[in-house]
Structure 1
Amino acid sequence: MAVTEDKSLNRRSANYAPPLWSFDHVQSLSSKYTGEDYEARVDSLKKSVKTMIQEVVGNPLKTLELVDNLQRLGISYHFEEEISQVLEMIYNDYYKTQEQWNGMDMNLKALGFRLLRQHGHHVPQEMFLNFKVKAENDKPQSDEDNNHVVGMLNLYEASYHSFEDESILDDARDFTTKYLKESVDRIDGSSSLGSLINHALELPLHWRIARLEAKWFIEAYREIVSPTLMELAILDFNMVQAINLQDLKESSRWWRNTCWDKKLSFSRDRLVEGYMWTIGVWSLPNFSLGRRTLTKVNAIITAIDDIYDIYGTLDELQQFTDVITRWDINAVEELPDYMKICFLGSFNVINEMAYNTLANSNSGVFILPYLKKAWVDLCNAYLLEAQWYQSGYIPTLEEYLHNASVSISVPVGLMHCNFLTSNYTSTQEIQQCIQRSANIVHYSALILRLADDLGTSSDEMARGDNPKSIQCYMHETGATEDEARNYMKSLINKTWKKLTKERAGAAATCEFLMEFECATNLARMAPFMYSQGDGYGRPQLAKSNILSLLFNPIQDLH
């Protein structure tokens, strides 16, 4: 039986701000950084950089500094094989045993630790066992000697690659944080080193999204890094940005055709911000189709979230959840019109992805059951939150986080990433992958949820939403809001250690999955979107970063 939306209901409204960028504006954007001339210049520069890599082999510090620069500049993906080879050599020659690392200075030891751990090599925290004594003995005689500060900065960054229960690295983080704060007072804050220290203290490199870091590093270090590296970095950034821009324009046309901005006007219209999430997850040129697909997924998640969180009645939400669970196109008649539109749009996108995977695969693997389950899990998590809201129930922090790590939508997003980046040959292989990646998906979701709550709970509580992690903890323990916020930050730190260990374990095997990197990158999006508040609900907060990454190319060197 068809259901008509009851217009007399006094439905909630979040009064979300309108989108910052119109369809016409997005479609008008263009970039000159396309075509064979630019590609030819990049190929020439890549050959020069490969020669540079070979020339520093034999000098471990210069090799590691070059690898670090390639990563910070966002161009290391061009040289994955070369980087893997030189890091393997450095590990075997300098880091494999205690005898090898004992005589190293702190700079070499810390930079090597970070890069080698990042690439899956086993390097123990014990190499920093006496770091305080070493730091005291190596103090420079002159304020002009900054090598000691650079070593402490590299140790600070290395400490963020710690695993659980690595107390030496915890001590190193505390020690270097204090040291760098004191050092930056005597170093010119506008100098390259002073700028790098302030940047690191604001947020460690390990927690930053690569694309934003690349642009910052290029602009901050263009007079210091070699001209060859800098020219390649600028060209690459602008050429990748041109590809990203085309992806966004295609996604914008899809969004316009859905009519959701008008038919679901109560929901956030965040096409550009949703696309930014895909840049954070994977920005490289070879993931263009994946970004377009994930942008659709993000738009669907936003609409469904707002239906459950704001607009739908509890009866409607239960009915919608039932229809999603059945995944039956005939059941759409049971829904009110606005839910019909949402369900049909979602149904088409998700089924299309399953069809494309089946049609372009020789294995005959059918992924729709896995996608459906992820969406059913998400809607059930949303429904439970709606039931809590209607009943006035305040869950314990454990109850809240168990459900909220699903409702943050990371599991459903990463399920799509999984199939967009992998070619499975059997359902058994899919199930093994899902089992293998369960922890890293959960840790990524937990970090994003807690960061989301820290950034958005003030706005959401002001409009009468469900209690978030902060309020649940306050209710359960009697803590003040400041105490609760500090506790959530400590949970983020602990969860980052777990996630880093999972990622390092995956990188150490031949089974490293792109999904593991996508999960880590999603966690990195947390400070990008929520450090200053709700950057998704209030898009003005994220505007400058979006302009920088999507719309404004880096100016040429000349």
Structure 2
Amino acid sequence: MVAKTPIVDCHAAVYQRSSWSHDFIESLETDFPISSKARIKELDVKVIKKYFFNESCNLSTVQLLELVDDIERLGLGYRFQKYIREALKNIASRKGNNVGLEDKEHSLHEVSLKFRLLREHSYNVSQDFVGRFKDSNGDFFGYLEKDIKGLLSLYEASYLAFEEEIDLYDAKYFGNEHLLKLNSVDKCALLHVNHALELPLYRRMQRVQARWYIDAYAKQKDADLLLLELAILDYNMIQAELKRDLQEVSKWWKDTGLANKLTFARDRVLECFFWMVGVVFEPQYHSCRVGLTKVCSFITVIDDIYDVYGTLDELEIFTNAVKRLRILTNKFRHVYLLKVSYFLYLFLCYRWDISAVKHMPNYLQITFVALYNTINEMGNKASIPILAKEWGELCEAFLLEAKWMHSKCIPTLETYLDNAWRSASGVVILTHGYCLINEEISEDAIQSLKMSHDLMKWSSMLLRLCNDLGTSSAEIQRGESANAISCYMLDNDVSDEVASEYVQSLIDEAWMKLTKARVKYCQGSEDCFADMAINVARSSHCAYQYGDGHGAPDARLKDQVLSVLIQPIENVVFL
């Protein structure tokens, strides 16, 4: 552990103060009744017996699909992952992967739901089912305009399209057009329609979505009370665990002293934690979630150093220090030649050079030492070289943006995006996440990480594009001239409104590429790292859909934080 440097005075804060004090976080009630835990176990068994180990249940395909859909929307998917995987495997094997082509008697709702669930679970299914619902002119049959359930399922399915799947592109616009026209439908159906039109299910942060769906599901006349009770208890239990995690990272953040020492930077540890809950909420990934919150907190501070505080000379020094791995190749080359452990070689040859701090001003020393200590505590001899490399590349990307800002340069959109997906920090977050869920980093694990390039790139691109849409006006006010919107405006001499629409189209394209990368990476199997890549993009929509939810959290985001992290669902009496 490196000793902490003295406190330094900094400029006045640019961003609004945090709404969540350490004392408030420490005061949160984290107990969860033992009787409720026992009830959860009891309900688990009942659900499994009722639906998965009951030969007399005789669920049809569409009923089984709807059950899986309800379980996942209620936030219970992780509890029944094995059974869901087996159910979808059986469904996929019945007719191969051409969803709906042979099932001509099946409804638009059924085949659309089947496609969505299978693709979401990384099955390489075909879009050909859409053609069944078109006439000889390629237009959708008129009767579908009044099939609310089918329209909604088709619309949701269309958001899992690949770029080349034109039929699903048509389906999205057909669904959107006719869902917008609905008016004489029951309140429950309209609730789901409006929710989907605001943001499709596939792009929603899972815990926020689970909280919404529990309320919506409770209003359904055909709601399964077993599932509903389990969902409420499970939600509250996870929330209690998340509060304990939050208290842990809040204490860590207070101990670093960065919020008090670097008053120009955003104090956003709770918002960082909320974001990382969106990336990985499952109870078994406690260490990963806590570690990623620390990473996100450092990214926020370092981003502010490059954006609003540091001079170019100071930023050059800091970037070089983070990039500079102490290369002791000559001293230890014989270790590698003797074919001693590759990871021992990495550990001996590549380490951050802590002596670089002597060339930095105090505020950078504080940041560098805190980052150095945290990454070394979090990593191990196998992962630290991998993590250090990503931090170096992130700082390089930050530095290029700082140079653009200081020179008032607005690059072409192509040049901007080539750097921006790296500066978005998604790669740093996902690389840390990969190392934290894979404690033993083998050479095979490193190869697997290298194969995930497209997953990380398009997840990060979505983080950047969502960020730019939500923060563009505030960044321009601070003098940060380069973002996707301003670059496109200059390239094409168009208004910010036209540029925003174009950036939204880039978001749609990036989602298609990310979805395809996930299917290619997973090939029908479950993979936590691939889920994290999708969830980074989902959290980006949550944070920036209505503005800058990270730099300037509004009432909407505060309500989401309260519902996910602070306020349990009120007790409901089940008979």
Q: Which residue does 1:161 correspond to in 2?
A: 160
Alpha-carbon distance, 1:21 to partner? 1.0
Alignment of 1:19-30 (within 5 A): 19-30=18-29
Residue in 2 that maps onto 1:516: 530
1:123, distance to aligned residue in structure 2 (A): 2.1
| Per-residue deviation, residues 190-244 of structure 1 (Å, max 9, x unmatched) | x211100000011000000111110000012213221100000000000000000
Which residue in 1 is equivalent to 2:403? 387
Q: How far 1:5 sits from its partner (Å)?
A: 12
Q: Structure 2-normalised TM-score?
A: 0.89
- In the alignment, the residues of structure 1 paired with residue 387 and residue 116 of structure 2 have an alpha-carbon distance, to the nearest angstrom, of 36
Say yes or no: does 1:192 pair with 2:188.
yes
Q: Out of 538-547 and 199-208, give the one that drifted further.
A: 538-547
**Match of residue 67 from structure 2:** 66
User: Once the 2 structures are TM-superposed, how far is the Cα of residue 92 of structure 1 from its aligned partner?
Assistant: 2.1
For 1:135 and 1:230, how far apart are their aligned partners in 2? Answer: 36
Output the amino acid matched with 1:412: V
Deviation at 1:99, TM superposition (A): 5.5
Q: How far 1:264 moved relative to its partner?
A: 0.5
Change (3 A) 1:139 1:261: closer
What residue is the counterpart of 2:548 in the other structure? 534
Is contact 1:385-1:466 (8 Å) kept?
A: no
The residue aligned with 2:560 is 545
Taking a change above 3 Å as real, the CA distance of residues 252 and 67 of structure 1, as seen in their structure-2 partners, is same
Cα distance in 2 for partners of 1:109, 1:280 equals 29
Q: After superposition, where does 1:289-300 map in structure 2 within 5 Å? A: 289-300=287-298
Instruction: Give deviations 1:98-123, integer Å, cap 9, x for gaps.
Output: 65322211111111111111122232
What are the superposed Cα offsets for residues 52-91 of structure 1, whole Å, 9 maximum, x if unpaired? Answer: 3235454111111100000000001111111111112222
In 1: Cα distance, 2:314 partner to 2:294 partner? 24
Please state if 1:222 is matched with 2:229: no
Distance 1:149 1:540 in 2: 34
1:459-486 Cα deviation digits (max 9, x unpaired) = 1101211321111111112122111111
Q: 1:111 aligns with which of 101, 108, 113?
A: 113
Alignment of 1:389-468 (within 5 A): 389-426=405-442, 428-468=443-483
Match of 2:341 in 1: none
Q: Could you tell me which residue of structure 2 aligns to residue 341 of structure 1?
A: 366
Secondary structure of 1:164's aligned partner: coil
SS in 1 for 2:482: coil
The 8 Å contact of residues 543 and 550 in structure 2, kept in 1 or not, is answered as yes
How far is 1:341 from its partner?
Answer: 0.7
Q: Is there any run of 5+ residues in structure 2 with no aligned partner, and where?
A: 325-351
Is 1:332–1:340's contact at 8 Å kept on the other side of the alignment? Answer: yes
Distance 1:5-1:351 versus aligned 2 partners, 3 A rule: closer
Alpha-carbon separation, structure 1, partners of 2:123 and 2:288? 30
Matches for 1:22-421 after TM superposition, within 5 Å: 22-35=21-34, 37-54=35-52, 55=54, 56-94=57-95, 96-97=97-98, 100-133=102-135, 136=141, 138=143, 148-183=147-182, 185-188=183-186, 191-224=187-220, 225-326=223-324, 327-355=352-380, 366-421=382-437
Q: Kindly report the root-mean-square deviation, in angstroms, between the aligned alpha carbons of the 2 structures.
A: 2.1
Shift of 1:4: 11
- Return the letter of the residue paired with 2:132: N
The residue matched to 2:75 in structure 1 has which SS? coil
How far residue 433 of structure 1 moved from its aligned partner, in angstroms, is 1.8
Q: Which runs of 5+ in 1 are unaligned?
A: 141-145, 359-365
Change (3 A) 1:96 1:444: closer
Kindly state the Cα deviation for residue 14 of structure 1 after the two structures are TM-superposed: 6.2
Distance 1:537 1:161 in 2: 30
The answer to whether the 8 Å contact 1:397/1:472 transfers is yes
Shift of 1:155: 0.7
Residues 4 and 242 (structure 1 numbering): CA distance in 2 closer, same or farther, change over 3 Å? Answer: closer
Counterpart CA distance in 1 for 2:8 and 2:199 is 48
CA distance in 1, matches of 2:496, 2:97: 46
SS at match of 1:163: coil
1:335 CA displacement: 0.9
Shift of 1:423: 4.1
In the TM superposition, what is the alpha-carbon distance from 1:498 to its structure 2 partner?
Answer: 0.6
Cα distance change of structure 1 residues 287 and 57 upon mapping to structure 2, 3 Å threshold = farther
Q: How far apart, in 2, do the equivalents of 1:91 and 1:412 lie?
A: 35
Hey, what's the Cα distance between the residues in 2 that align with 1:324 and 1:105?
57
Q: Deviations over 1:170-205 (max 9, x none)?
A: 00110011111112x1114xx211100000011000
Q: Given that residues 241 and 283 in structure 2 are in contact (C-alpha distance below 8 angstroms), is that contact kept between their aligned partners in structure 1?
A: yes
- Listed one character per residue, the Cα deviations across residues 318-362 of structure 1 (whole Å, up to 9, x for unaligned) are 11112212221122111111111101100000011123xx5xxxx
**Structure 2 counterpart SS, 1:515:** helix
Shift in alpha-carbon separation, 1:450–1:99, aligned structure 2, 3 A = closer
Q: Is the 8 A contact 1:93 1:100 kept in 2?
A: no
Indicate how the Cα distance of structure 1 residues 105 and 256 shifts in structure 2: closer, same or farther if over 3 A, else same.
same
Partner of 1:361: none
Letter in 1 for 2:286: S
Q: Give the secondary structure class of the aligned counterpart of 1:130.
A: helix
**Letter of the aligned partner of 1:396 in structure 2?**
T
Per the TM alignment, residue 42 of structure 1 is displaced from its structure 2 partner at its CA by: 0.8
Task: Tell me, yes or no, if the aligned pair for 2:120 and 2:160 is still in contact at 8 Å.
Answer: yes
| TM score, norm. by length of structure 1 | 0.91
Distance 2:441 2:320 in 1: 32
- SS at 1:100's partner residue? coil
TM-aligned CA deviation for residue 137 of structure 1: 6.3
Matched residue pairs, number? 532
C-alpha distance in 1, partners of 2:517/2:101?
28
Deviation at 1:138, TM superposition (A): 4.5
* Cα distance change of structure 1 residues 235 and 4 upon mapping to structure 2, 3 Å threshold: closer
